Amino acid sequence: MIFNSVAFAIFFICFFFLYWFVFNKSLKLQNLLILLGGYVFYGWSDWRFLSFLIVVSALNFFLGIYIDKTKDPKYRRLLLYIGLVQGIGGLVFFKYFNFFIVSFNNAFHSLGINVNLQTLTIIIPLGISFFTFRTVSYLIDIDKGKIKPTMDWVVFFNYVSFFPCVLSGPIDKAISFIPQLEKKRVFDYHQATDGMRQILWGLFKKVVVADNCATITNQIFADYQVLRASSLLLGAFLFTIQLYADFSGYSDMAIGISRICGFIVTKNFNFPFFSQNIAEFWRRWHISFTSWLTEYVFTPLSIAFRDYGRLGLILSILINFTLIGIWHGANWTFVLFGFLYGCYFIPLIMSGGMNRGRSVAKGKLFPSSNELRKILGTFILVVLTNILFRAESVSQAFGYWRRLFSFSLFSLPELADSTSVFITMFFIFVLLSVEWLQREREHGLEINHIQSMPLRWISYVTTFSIILIFGASSKAFVYFQF
């Protein structure tokens, strides 16, 4: 079930009324309803993996309790490792097994040795990365004594499979999410109405911007070998916008739905295209994931490498970003994608500019020329690097780059359907303009500060009409595959 479907709208309306009007008397019942709703939502997409999700939840629930109870450090460690092997091992098996086999075969083949290990037909459980990260951080935090395990299985199972976030995040840590499940939720009018606005804004990003971009980028990337460089540049630009609008649109909807249910979920995007350097960009992009990695991978690594000074820091970042790349998929394009982003940090580390550039044009309508230069520079770097994200192979990415930097860059792009391209570009302009004006707020449609009610309602109705008329046919979210 995807958020931008009629099935989900019906599901959520039913859920809302049961949640706030029937099951609101008892916290336990309300939590049971969330769990049931979560399993219906998850099982709707592919019921076969529901049992996997339940087994993973049960295993980690008991491991959490036993890790906390155990006084013997060795036994405690063993229990933690069982959890990590199950979590990370499952992730590696489902997502990367075939990639390793193929790479292994190819490596030997290049040495002239014919090894032919068989790949397996593996179907990846939806959202496996997202719920694995939740369970892994839960066990590590218990082991470190940061949190106490919950004794309520319904609470824990909900933490793993909370339906707005189970398929594509945001990835909340137990320390902030479990307490919300353990206390009675009270309906908050302002939070719920803003949740509705955020859903509307997320829908606009997804169906108007991302899905329309996808139609164009699919054509351009399929025919990149015969198109002009200017068309390829347009394709790369549109793909970066598509990726952002798709994933941040999904996150907006997930956060909005959670808010209507009385939950505060981690923000996942903070207007990343207004970043002035790559470090800032990654602080604003897929925040829940990068902060998870910062806590559980980057920080331990940088502590381990602290004796090597800046070199240690560079090494930690390169490993961290390569992992970010690999997480996105079992393909060398993603490995290179992550590694390249890691490399972009090197000049920042050397110049000590890692933490610079926090807020742009604060209190002003327009950025200064210096800020604009930095924003554009960062954006271009992102656009060029994201070609790797979209390309099916490294050779395709290099082919794309090669054609991109040719003289035809200074010609007009070939447009198969120029009207669609112009409409899409117009809505990208709307998206970026609104987000620029709203950059100090939570999301693009957070307009509760506008005093005039008719004006606010005109905005809602206009947004809805645009979604209806200009939305492309529903396509699955890009990040579902991860």
Nearer to other proteins, 199 or 278 (CB): 199
Q: Which amino acid is at 390?
A: R
Nearer to other proteins, 190 or 362 (CB): 190
Between the two ends of the chain, the Cα-to-Cα distance in Å is: 16
Nearer to other proteins, 207 or 391 (CB): 207
Shortest separation between residue 46's beta carbon and other proteins, angstroms:
17
Burial of 190 (0-12, 13-18, 19+ CB in 10 A): exposed
Shortest separation between residue 453's beta carbon and other proteins, angstroms:
10
User: Angle 205-132-8 (CA atoms, 0-180°, nearest 5)?
Assistant: 40
Nearer to other proteins, 323 or 423 (CB): 423
Q: Which amino acid is at 431?
A: L
At 368 the three-state DSSP class reads: coil
Q: What is the DSSP letter of 271?
A: -
Shortest separation between residue 460's beta carbon and other proteins, angstroms:
6
Q: Which amino acid is at 435?
A: E
Shortest separation between residue 101's beta carbon and other proteins, angstroms:
29
Phi, psi (rounded to 5 degrees) for 302: -65, -25
Contact present, 248 and 183 (Cβ < 8 Å): no
Q: Which amino acid is at 22?
A: V
Q: What is the dihedral of CA 260, 251, 94, 52, to 10 degrees?
A: 0
Q: Which amino acid is at 448?
A: N
Nearer to other proteins, 206 or 283 (CB): 206
Shortest separation between residue 64's beta carbon and other proteins, angstroms:
35
Nearer to other proteins, 118 or 419 (CB): 419
Tokens at 429, concatenated: 């302009």
Shortest separation between residue 27's beta carbon and other proteins, angstroms:
18
Shortest separation between residue 464's beta carbon and other proteins, angstroms:
5
Nearer to other proteins, 312 or 471 (CB): 471
User: Angle 137-171-439 (CA atoms, 0-180°, nearest 5)?
Assistant: 135
Q: Where are the alpha helices (DSSP H) in 329-452?
A: 332-351, 369-385, 387-390, 394-404, 418-437
Contact present, 353 and 276 (Cβ < 8 Å): no
User: Angle 376-380-386 (CA atoms, 0-180°, nearest 5)?
Assistant: 145
Nearer to other proteins, 84 or 196 (CB): 196
Nearer to other proteins, 189 or 366 (CB): 189
Of 172, 45, 43, 39, which is closest to residue 477 (Cα–Cα)?
Answer: 45
Nearer to other proteins, 297 or 423 (CB): 423
Contact present, 161 and 57 (Cβ < 8 Å): yes
Nearer to other proteins, 43 or 471 (CB): 471
Of 130, 37, 117, 32, which is closest to residue 90 (Cα–Cα)?
Answer: 130
Nearer to other proteins, 154 or 210 (CB): 210
Question: Measured between alpha carbons, how far is 381 from 377 in angstroms, rounded to an integer?
Answer: 6
- Phi-psi map region of 196: left, alpha, beta (phi>0 left; psi -120 to 50 alpha): alpha
Shortest separation between residue 457's beta carbon and other proteins, angstroms:
8
Question: Measured between alpha carbons, how far is 236 from 391 in angstroms, rounded to an integer?
Answer: 10
Shortest separation between residue 33's beta carbon and other proteins, angstroms:
17
Q: Where along the sequence are the contacts to other proteins (CB under 8 A)? A: 5-6, 10, 20, 187, 189, 192-193, 196, 419, 423, 460-461, 464-465, 468-471, 473-474
Question: Measured between alpha carbons, how far is 308 from 318 in angstroms, rounded to an integer?
Answer: 14
